[in-house]
Amino acid sequence: GQNIDQPTEMTATEGAIVQINCTYQTSGFNGLFWYQQHAGEAPTFLSYNVLDGLEEKGRFSSFLSRSKGYSYLLLKELQMKDSASYLCAVMDSNYQLIWGAGTKLIIKP
Amino acid sequence: GAVVSQHPSWVICKSGTSVKIECRSLDFQATTMFWYRQFPKQSLMLMATSNEGSKATYEQGVEKDKFLINHASLTLSTLTVTSAHPEDSSFYICSARTSSGGDTGELFFGEGSRLTVL
């Protein structure tokens, strides 16, 4: 079966760095996405990785290792507004997105 | 980026009534739109894939006669929850891709529609 695993909840301090991990097992791979979702709102796109390595975009970076079925989202200089759920999603061989359950990130002052 | 508009944002209805939710791509043509349902503290669950001009493809366990999907044009898809019951109360979200597969596949989401069935 297809499976996406990510921690349920994480807590970090404002100004610090946090890494949210995601492991996956899917039928085929056509890219991995990270989305941010604030409570009561629709997800917003953060990053897309299809090749191994690190993609940096401002305070957010995303890493992918296809051989390990592993990705992480790195958030630097955390701000209170970063408190949200972070969803990992993998596009399988049929170009369908398989979603993780999301990681709720709590930022403390 | 591309804009997807969803309406209404909030809807409260009585049990047994039907509710229609619209999803529009405002500045691009969406050959494929997706409908998701999200219960509190749970991940997005794909309900169906809607292709313009053809019947929607429903995920296993989703009743196609209860959740009617129409994708009559390249910019509009509708989800109708028929004979709604309290257990249908959820956050319904649509999304669209600017092209079908093979690209980054970035999805653009509507704002979501929160349905409460009394």
Cβ neighbours of B38 (radius 10 Å):
20
Residue of chain A nearest B33, judged by CA positions? A96
Question: Per residue in A70-89, pLDDT tens?
Answer: 999 999 999 999 999 999 99
Q: Would the CB atoms of A91 and B109 count as touching at under 8 Å?
A: no
For the cut 50, the answer to whether the pLDDT of residue B102 exceeds it is no
B34 vs A contacts (CB less than 8 Å): 97
B16 at A interface, C-beta within 8 A: no
Instruction: Over range A97-108, report the average pLDDT.
Output: 92
- Average pLDDT over chain B reads 87
Interface contact flag, A43 B109, Cβ < 8 Å? yes
Distance CA B1, CA A2 (A): 30
List Cβ<8 Å contacts ≥24 apart for A76-80. A76/A17, A77/A15, A77/A17, A78/A12, A78/A13, A78/A14, A78/A15, A78/A16, A78/A17, A78/A18, A78/A107, A79/A14, A79/A107, A80/A14, A80/A107, A80/A109
Does residue A99 belong to the interface with chain B, where contact is any CB pair within 8 Å? yes
Q: Write out pLDDT tens, residues A23-81.
A: 999 989 989 999 999 987 888 889 989 999 999 989 999 999 999 999 999 999 999 99
Least CB–CB distance from A100: residue in B43, B45, B110: B43
